[in-house]
């Protein structure tokens, strides 16, 4: 059987870190104490006007390719998970393919599953590789959520940040992805959305992110616990067999509650939300890359990546790194 294995990771954060006090200085009616206590977030990165999601994706992709000793032309599938694409179309993946200089006819497409987008993209890539149709996929999460935030809504604007993370997934004889699971329940679409539409070339309705924070909190903790157990069961493994849990970085309290529910020790949970805020589809590959580069995640270790986001969507990938 063909395995699909992550052979390299990369990430990119635009600009300088923006602290909670910087947001106060910019006029947001909040405080460092409130944001830190309720969310654990201390910094986020915000994209300058000169950059868009495909630029962030390009930088993260080049970092991943360099880490793997690969050239862009070695990739035969490009998947970008984003809810903040450069354009309605063409896809950010197509733009990324062109920016990488590999506009050579290989497949490129976007995945839209909000904060679960990277897990959806990685699982799709896994299935392409296992089928034998493709050999090496670049899977990217890239977001410029700062562009869809209402900066007068302190209940949401303090939570999010921009960034991109990328992995190269390759056909391999060595075990890589051991199990994966994807889910959605569209009846929860109202608790987290950007409900604006497009008509006659204009955005109609509300173009900004709106959220019922407490409903999202409860839903996220429940499904992150369930889906982690689901992939462990599928691989016939237990929590004790796990080296690292890398959940979507929504806020520190969601991560802590998820770890507690699963019985995972806090020192096995990779946490980056304090430095990055919630970067939606970028948060999981950003956290993975950071933990790989600082030496915590090592070859052969078992890792769960898991996400939850608007839709609602959720999913997990259990892998041997």
Q: How far is the CB of 183 from ligand ACO (least distance, A)?
A: 13
Residue 115 touching ligand ACO (CB under 6 A)? yes
Nearer to ligand ACO, 35 or 305 (CB): 35
Q: Please list every residue from 3 through 22 that binds ligand ACO, using CB under 6 A.
A: none
Q: Smallest distance, Å, CB 208 to ligand ACO?
A: 13
Cβ closest to ligand ACO, residue 52 vs residue 251: 251
**Prior bond to 172 cis, omega within 30?**
no
What is the Cα–Cα distance from 11 to 125, expressed in whole angstroms? 19
278 is a contact residue toward ligand ACO (CB under 6 A): yes
- CA dist., res. 276 & res. 103, Å (int): 32
Work out which of 34, 48, 87, 197 binds ligand ACO, going by CB under 6 A: 34
Pairing of strands 302-309, 162-172: unpaired
Least distance in angstroms from the C-beta of 31 to ligand ACO: 6
**Binding status of residue 220 toward ligand ACO by CB under 6 A:** yes
Q: Does 296 bind ligand ACO (CB under 6 A)?
A: no
Task: Answer yes or no whether residue 159 interacts with ligand ACO by CB under 6 A.
Answer: yes
Considering beta carbons, is residue 34 or 87 the nearer one to ligand ACO? 34
Taking the C-alpha atoms of residue 275 and residue 273, their distance in angstroms, rounded to an integer, is 5
> What is the CA 289 to chain-centroid distance, rounded?
11
Query: Between 159 and 269, whose beta carbon lies closer to ligand ACO?
Result: 159
Residue appearing with tokens 């052979």: 7
- In whole angstroms, what separates CA 3 from the centre of its chain? 22
Q: Is 26 in the site for ligand ACO (CB under 6 A)?
A: no
Residue 255 is encoded by which pair of tokens? 């991560």
14: left (phi over 0), alpha (psi -120 to 50) or beta: beta
Kindly state whether residue 273 participates in binding ligand ACO, applying the rule CB under 6 A.
no
Interacting residue with ligand ACO among 19, 24, 36, 38 (CB under 6 A): 38
Member of 217, 222, 239, 256 binding ligand ACO (CB under 6 A):
217
Q: Would you count residue 51 as binding ligand ACO (CB under 6 A)?
A: no
Asked if omega into 312 is within 30° of 0 (cis), the reply is yes
Is residue 214 packed enough to be buried (19+ CB in 10 Å), middle (13-18) or exposed (0-12)?
Answer: exposed
Q: Going by C-beta distance under 8 Å and a sequence separation of 6 or more, which residues neighbour residue 92? A: 53, 54, 57, 80, 82, 85, 86, 110, 142
**Shortest distance in whole angstroms from residue 182 CB to ligand ACO:** 15
User: Is 115 noted as a catalytic residue in this protein?
Assistant: yes
Distance, CA of 183 to CA of 219 (rounded, Å): 13
Return the SS3 of 313: strand
Identity of the residue, 129 or 282, whose beta carbon is nearer to ligand ACO in the bound complex: 282
Contact string (CB under 6 A) for ligand ACO, positions 175-204, x = contact:
-----------------x------------
Report which residue's Cβ sits closest to ligand ACO: 213
Locus of tokens 């946490």: 271
214 interacts with ligand ACO by CB under 6 A: yes
CA–CA separation, 180 and 126 (whole Å)? 9
Q: Is 45 among the catalytic positions?
A: no
Give residue for tokens 């950059």. 51
Annotated catalytic residues are 115, 248, 278
The residues binding ligand ACO (CB under 6 A) are 30, 34-35, 38-39, 115, 154-155, 158-159, 192, 211, 213-214, 216-217, 220, 248, 250-251, 253-254, 278, 308-309
């Amino acid at each position: 059987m063909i395995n699909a294995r992550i052979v390299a990771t990369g990430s990119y954060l635009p600009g300088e870190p923006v602290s909670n006090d910087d947001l106060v200085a910019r006029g947001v009616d909040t405080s460092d104490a409130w944001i830190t206590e309720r969310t654990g977030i201390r910094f986020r990165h915000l994209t300058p006007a000169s950059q868009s999601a495909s630029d962030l994706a390009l930088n993260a992709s080049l970092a991943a390719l360099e880490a793997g000793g690969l050239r862009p032309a070695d990739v035969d599938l490009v998947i970008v998970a984003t809810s903040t694409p450069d354009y309605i179309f063409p896809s950010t993946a197509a733009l990324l393919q062109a920016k990488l200089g590999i506009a050579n006819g290989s497949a490129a497409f976007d995945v839209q599953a909000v904060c679960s987008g990277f897990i959806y993209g990685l699982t799709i890539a896994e299935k392409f590789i296992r089928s034998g149709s493709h050999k090496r996929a670049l899977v990217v999460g890239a977001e410029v959520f700062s562009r869809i935030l209402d900066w007068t809504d302190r209940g949401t604007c303090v939570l999010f940040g921009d960034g991109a993370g990328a992995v190269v997934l390759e056909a391999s004889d060595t075990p890589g992805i051991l199990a994966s699971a994807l889910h959605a329940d569209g009846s929860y679409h109202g608790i987290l959305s950007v409900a604006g539409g497009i008509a006659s070339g204009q955005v109609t309705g509300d173009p900004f992110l709106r959220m019922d924070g407490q409903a999202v909190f409860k839903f996220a903790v429940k499904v992150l616990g369930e889906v982690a157990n689901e992939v462990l069961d599928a691989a016939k493994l237990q929590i004790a067999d796990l080296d690292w849990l890398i959940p979507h970085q929504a806020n520190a309290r969601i991560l802590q509650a998820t770890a507690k529910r699963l019985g995972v020790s806090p020192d096995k949970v990779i946490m980056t939300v304090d430095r990055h805020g919630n970067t939606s589809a970028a948060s999981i590959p950003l956290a993975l890359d950071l933990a790989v580069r600082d030496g915590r995640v090592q070859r052969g270790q078992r890792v769960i990546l898991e996400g939850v986001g608007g839709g609602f969507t959720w999913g997990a990938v259990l892998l041997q790194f």
